[in-house]
Amino acid sequence: MAGEEKTEKATPKKRRDARQEGDVLQSKEIVTAVSVLGMFAAMRLLMGYITETVLAYSTSVFSQVGTFQVNADNYMSLFINVATVFVMTVGPICAIALLLGIIPTIAQTRGLFTMKATHFKFSRLNPLSGIKKLFSLQSIVGIVKGLLEVIIISVIVYSEISGRMPKFIALTNAGIMQSMTYAMTCIFDLVMTICILLVFVAAGDFLFQWWQFEKKLKMSKQEVKEEYKQTEGDPQIKGKIKQRQRQMAMARMMQEVPKADVVIRNPTHFAVALKYDQDANRAPMVVAKGKDHLALRIIKIAEENDVYITTDPPLARTLYSTVELGREIPVELYNAVAEVLTVVYKAKNKTLHA
């Protein structure tokens, strides 16, 4: 029912269907935190290499001051050199940032790739749906989270700069390299502090996304029942199929009664029909058995087809309870059944082989 409360956890099938539609648990904040943290960690590790490369190129450029001729070839050579230095210095950092953006996404989605999420849906053009999303819990949490991040980052930046301001003023009389080194150290310390903040934000966002995802996948009791019907089959239909199968098995069993050699009864509660093919079987086989009204049906069919009927309550009960339909009798019943078959074969002027 549409208004029924969804209180049941999602079934494995519901989770598989959601995954096929591209609906998986993932937090964008984790991707952002890992990318930023990894990128600036790479910058710190590669700073020596980047500084040496930039200084070497700068020295080369300044050495040509006064001798640089303005023409198309020199401009092209300058452009190629600048591009090469840029790729050598910024390229590794960009590659690491890209890789660190892909890895968390793959880890969260477990390598899911689907185009269903990109399919056009007319419902996306509905302005009411857009307004509803705008005021949804997800949007409100996103706005509050963004504001808190801006406020906290602003406080961190202000605290770092105000605390280091005397040192910045003192560096006005220091050398360029010393000033640049200190400035870069301050920037990295500031960035790492912000990255630590992003890690905590990412952890909180992941928990919120997990809660939202599980809530969205929850099912009502009726949905669980409907899914069970689709996967396991309607219990009513399955019951009818089983009933039909029992009826067919009963009909086949009754068809075997006229072919039996003897029916052993008790005298009305149990009836077991035995058939002994001395060429095909090692021992007599139970071809039909029944209790109460079914026993009476077996006896009636046996009477109509002149099948020998004998009364032996203990043997009838034992055969009914211990021997499955279509199976040979066990060794311990050979003697008791042989005595019955001997009487039957004498009545029919047949010989019972040992």
CA distance 2 to 19: 23
Exposure of 28 in the CB half-sphere (CA atoms within 13 A): 4
Q: What b-and-e string marks burial along 193-214, b requiring 16 or more CB atoms within 10 Å of the CB? A: ebbebbbebbeebbebbeeebe
CA distance 289 to 326: 10
Distances (CA, A) of 261 to 173, 257, 282: 121, 9, 15
CA distance 272 to 284: 12
Neighbours of 276 (CB within 10 A): 22
Q: Could you tell me which of 259, 343, 266 has the C-alpha nearest to residue 301?
A: 259
Fill in the DSSP letter of residue 172. G
Bridge partners of 149, per DSSP, are none
What pLDDT does 252 receive?
Answer: 87
The CATH fold of domain 238-347:
name from scop (3.40.1690)
Fill in the DSSP letter of residue 323. S
3-class DSSP string for 96-137: HHHHHHHHHHHHHHCCCCCCHHHCCCHHHHCHHHHHHHHCCH
pTM above 0.75, yes or no: no
Q: CA torsion angle for 45, 48, 51, 52 (degrees, to 10)?
A: -140
CA distance 354 to 339: 11
Ramachandran class of 318: left when φ > 0, alpha when ψ lies in -120 to 50, beta otherwise: alpha
Residue ranges covered by each domain of the chain: 26-116, 120-218, 238-347
Q: Which residues of the chain have pLDDT under 70?
A: 1-4, 61-75, 111, 113-138, 171-172, 174-177, 180, 230-237, 349-354
CA distance 201 to 196: 9
What pLDDT does 47 receive?
Answer: 74
CA distance 90 to 330: 86
